[in-house]
Amino acid sequence: MLSFFNPRTVGALLLPVGLGAALVSGGCSSPSSPTTQSGGTASTDSVSTAGPQAPANSPLQVVAGFREPQMVGVAVLPDGRVFADFPRWDNNPVNPVAEVSTDGSVKPYPDATWCTWNETVRNEPQKHWICPQSVYADKTGMLWVLDPASPGLKGTVVGGPKLVKIDPSTNKVVQNISVPESVAPRKSYLNDVRIDTQNNYAYITESGVGSLVVIDLKSGKSRKLLNQHPSMLGDTTLNIKADGKELVDPTGKKARFNADGIALSQDMQYLYWKPLTSYALYRIKTEALRNPALTDAQLSQQIEDLGKVPACDGMEIDAKNNLYMTAFENHSIVRRTLAGKIEPVVQDPRLEWPDTFAFGPDDMLYVTTSAIHKTPTWNKGLGKQDQPYYIFKMKLPQ
């Protein structure tokens, strides 16, 4: 029997470009009849407080904002089309994967049927978004959606974990790869994906147990690698904070987020990753990951420890192989040069848990904010989100 974390439908207050700054100063209470994903009135359990203000010199431009439901991922195609995903964590979004129009409005993607998940379709877990975590545009302009299929983070729906390829020119699914329970067990959470278009492979971080998942896109076969290796596991001894507050759940347990951020070098020869609650960064040659003859012990010998970096959620690599990281502890984005130097990119109080990156046309960097630290889990059951979940963009620094 499927169990949804919260069966109510929560709407999204849409903030078109240019209107975000005007609404940031408002509280969490919505206008009397806002536009929502469902067409109804937006609902929220958050406390009404004034949201962070934009610094006068911030390069961040608002693409869209959503009062509810919570958003995590963004993908941008070469033609500028923008997509976002809203996992079924604390609510049941109408459009868990959506195309975001230039006016900030959303529409279900690829269609309303894929976005439907309820008791009437529970026997078709491979044909519907259950809890999509990541949207990603590859170098050929194809869109990929990673669905760990764990609503409310309560455990995977049997037969639900999947990686789906969509052709944006037709808005049709062209490949649907089921990830078996042997690779994505019930306690797993497929987190983020990068597509190696040169070798036709997908590389995925799995944060529930802590592993990498590698999928041969030609055969559709997947393998779980480095399961619970130290490089995959979060560290609970670091007292990692957000807004100066340590992340502790209602039981008093410190946050432990395993393998999360992932990035692929421009030549696709190296895969980078890190656990979220960690200051360590790792990489390995993708050639090793594609070799099924190598054991985990042999793979572990090829892992490179790249030293200390900020705790971060999302990662991405630009054309110059600078590694961008969403440094949520101090509302900022930083980058690591090839030489290993950590450079600030932008600090802005509106970056409430900067989450996921995407590169767009005209050298634009997109980033989402998911305000994870303000959700009920980390605030004794009381949501404290005081601004919309944003998609920002900015010009890539030189």
Q: What is 366-386 written as a DSSP string?
A: EEEE--GGGSGGGTTT-----
pLDDT for 29 equals 26
Rounded to the nearest angstrom, the gap between the alpha carbon of residue 7 and the centroid of all alpha carbons in its chain is 22
Radius of gyration over every alpha carbon of the chain, rounded to an integer in angstroms: 19
pLDDT for 239 equals 87
* Domains parsed from the chain with CATH numbers: 20-395 (2.120.10.30)
Per residue, what are the HEC states of 347-358? ECCCCCCEEEEE
Higher pLDDT, 299 or 31: 299
State the Cα–Cα distance between residues 236 and 136, nearest whole angstrom.
Answer: 30
The mean pLDDT value for 22-29 works out to 27
Q: pLDDT tens for residues 306-334?
A: 999 999 999 999 999 999 999 999 999 99
pLDDT band at 10 (very low <50, low <70, confident <90, very high): very low
Signed CA dihedral, 260, 67, 16, 167: sign only:
positive
State the Cα–Cα distance between residues 12 and 334, nearest whole angstrom.
Answer: 29
220: left (phi over 0), alpha (psi -120 to 50) or beta: left
Residues composing the chain: 398
- Asked if 383 and 376 touch (Cβ cutoff 8 Å), the reply is yes
State the Cα–Cα distance between residues 53 and 111, nearest whole angstrom.
Answer: 36
- Residue 123: how many CB atoms within 10 A of its CB? 8
Q: What is the mean pLDDT of the chain?
A: 88
pLDDT band at 398 (very low <50, low <70, confident <90, very high): confident
| Contacts of residue 207, Cβ cutoff 8 Å, sequence gap at least 6 | 189, 191, 257, 258, 259, 260, 275, 276
State the Cα–Cα distance between residues 194 and 29, nearest whole angstrom.
Answer: 37
> Percent of the chain scored above 90 by pLDDT?
81
Q: pLDDT tens for residues 134-170?
A: 999 999 999 999 999 999 999 999 999 999 999 999 9
Angle at 6 between CA 213 and CA 143, to 5 degrees: 40
pTM of the model: 0.89
